[in-house]
Every structure is written in structure tokens, then in C-alpha cells.
Chains A and B, each alone.
Chain A
Amino acid sequence: MSRPYEGSEKEQVWKLLLEAGLTDIALDEFPERIKEAKQVVMGRLSELLELTTDIQERQSAAYSLAMLKKLETTVWRTGKHRSSD
């Protein structure tokens, strides 16, 4: 269905995600992993804000950031409920 990564690119992506701990998130690591993803999006967003072009990607990054924030709040809230059970 799609054009997958090939050769060394495939290995680099695999390594990148392994190092970021994103291939298999452990039970209590979601808040930390969401925080890291937010940092990456924020880094890209700050680059995009300096460019006058690519407004669409800027909007998309801002939306993703908001989405991660929302998920972060939910995960935090659910975790709190669980620990008080």
C-alpha cells in the first residue's frame, strides 16, 4: 500500500525510534514519551515560525502540538484516577 523505507534509511528510522523509546512504550512511560514528542514538534514549530513560507505545515504542527497536549492531560488524569483506586 505504501512506499516503505529502504536500506540504510530503514535502519536509521528503526534506530531513531528505538532510541526515543517509541517502538514499545512501557506502561508508565506515556507522559514522558508525549513530552518528548511535544518537544520535537515545538522545535520544528519554532523553525517554521521563522519562515514566511509553508503556513500549512506550521498550522499542522500547531494542531499536532494541541493534540499532544490534550492526550497528555487525558493520560495524566487517567493515571491519577488509577493511583487513587
Chain B
Amino acid sequence: MKTTANEVGIAASWPPEEGQIIRFKSLGGLKTGTLKELRWGLVWRDFILEDGRVIPEHKILGCPEPPVWRKADEVTQDEREAWERRLVSMAETGLDPRDREQSFWADLNQYLAYTYLRFKQAGHKPPDAQ
């Protein structure tokens, strides 16, 4: 595949800029897309591509490992509730979370990771830590 000056990998900085072509790991191997915007989720950043696909940052080629993630206790109640309302709404419209790289898959994936971390870590805190 021909690389362009706009493709990530040439740029030394992370994260890539809007309009750059990014490569990411997917089921069928490596895929490419043009970055439209970066959006913080409940745990990690999602890369929104121009064709609507949503790719978690840690799937992008060149992402530093481990990537930068938010702490579960930094998510506000309002943000969490808005996320939950969106999930319910997507579920009720009949979207299938198994449509990989689409919004429902991405949002449900983050919600499960966030919920897992939130309660797993809370359970491991010493009694006087709260």
C-alpha cells in the first residue's frame, strides 16, 4: 500500500490529527480510515472516522502502550447517566452491539470496561480510603 505524508507513523507525535489517515487492528487484519475526531469515553478515547466507524485508541497502530485512560471516579454521575440513556436508546432502536466498530459496540464496550473497573477497584480499596 502506498503511504502518504498524511499517514500516521510518519508523524512522531501522538495522538494523530484530524484528517490524518490511521491504521488500526480489526478482525480481517489491518484497516485504514480518515480521522474525523477524537472523543473521550468513560475509560479511553475513541477515534471517530469520517465514515462513522468508532475505533478505540488502543487499536490504532502507533498508540503508546498502555494508553492514557481516565480513572473511573472521574466520570461524573451526569456523564454516566447520559451514557446509560444513550445505550438504552440504542438498544431500544434495535441496534446490535455485534455490529463491530459502530457506536453501540463502542459505547457498550466502554460501559462494561468502566463498570468493571469502577466496582472492582472500589471493592479493593482499604476501608478508610473513601
Q: Which residues of chain B are within 8 angstroms of A41 by Cβ–Cβ distance?
A: 115, 119
- Verify B71–A34 contact, CB threshold 8 A: no
Contacting B at CB under 8 A, from A1-19, are 1-5, 10-11, 13-14, 16-17
Contacting A at CB under 8 A, from B9-66, are 27, 40, 43, 56, 58-59, 65-66
Q: How far is the CB of B1 from the nearest CB of chain A, in Å?
A: 23
Q: Which residues of chain B are within 8 angstroms of A60 by Cβ–Cβ distance?
A: 77
- Verify A64–B69 contact, CB threshold 8 A: no
Chain B at the A interface: SS class? helix
**CB 8 Å contact bits of B63-75 with A (1 = contact, 0 = none):** 0011111110010
Q: How far is the CB of A61 from the nearest CB of chain B, in Å?
A: 7
Contacting A at CB under 8 A, from B87-130, are 87-88, 91-92, 94-98, 100, 105, 108-109, 111-113, 115-120, 122-123, 130
Binding site for A on B (CB under 8 A): 27, 40, 43, 56, 58-59, 65-71, 74, 77, 84, 87-88, 91-92, 94-98, 100, 105, 108-109, 111-113, 115-120, 122-123, 130
Binding site for B on A (CB under 8 A): 1-5, 10-11, 13-14, 16-17, 20, 22-25, 27-28, 30, 33-34, 36-37, 40-41, 43-44, 47, 54, 57, 60-61, 64, 67-68, 70-71, 74-75, 78-79, 82
